[in-house]
Amino acid sequence: MPKGLVHYYFRRKSDLLGALIKRLPDEQLEPALVVVPGDIAESLRRLVRELDARLARSRMLSHLLWREADTHRAVRDALHERFQQLVRQVRAVILAAGEGGVAVEDVDSAAGLLALAVSYRHSVARHGDEPADLMERELNFIADALMARPVT
């Protein structure tokens, strides 16, 4: 595509970045699609697999936007909102899988931690240098910690 055509449709770089943000795949999914009642670890595994599949469709776009977040507030705000959506989604999956058997304050912490791990992994996915079992260990750690503490 000629560079002039890009400038014709997008007057400023921020206009182009705004259009690219809208092209990111929707990461919102219905918890019922991934939840295995009573099995937090498997439910989280299914959630992460689905999120990874969606990332695979936009790996370069995600990389580009992560780079631009430092210098463009609109990109940073959009990525922050996506992160908050991810936290809410992880939280919903844990609560549904835990069937009321986990403390809500622990769920909030676990959702934030897993969302950070997934976000970090997606931000550096193009490098491919993460140990293959790292996410599995993180998922098991979070699930075991949630199930180990009795609900009060």
pLDDT at 111 over 90: yes
Supply the pLDDT for residue 103. 82
Matching residue, tokens 């993460």: 130
Tell me which residue range forms the domain holding 124. Answer: 3-148
CATH number of the domain to which 90 belongs:
1.10.357
Which of the four pLDDT bands, split at 50, 70 and 90, describes residue 120? confident
Cα separation of 11 and 8, whole Å?
Answer: 6
Q: Which amino acid is at 57?
A: R
CA pair distance 62, 16, nearest whole angstrom: 14
Split into its structural domains, the chain has a count of 1
> Cβ-count burial of 141 within 10 angstroms (0-12 exposed, 13-18 middle, 19+ buried)?
middle
Write the DSSP string, 92-124.
HHHHHHHTT-S-HHHHHHHHHHHHHHHHHHHHT
Rounded average pLDDT over 91-96: 94
Q: Is the dihedral of CA 90, 92, 98, 100 positive or negative?
A: positive
Cα(114)–Cα(142) distance, integer angstroms:
8
Q: What is the pLDDT of residue 131?
A: 66
**137 is written with which tokens?**
């260990």
Position 130 confidence tier, pLDDT thresholds 50, 70, 90? low
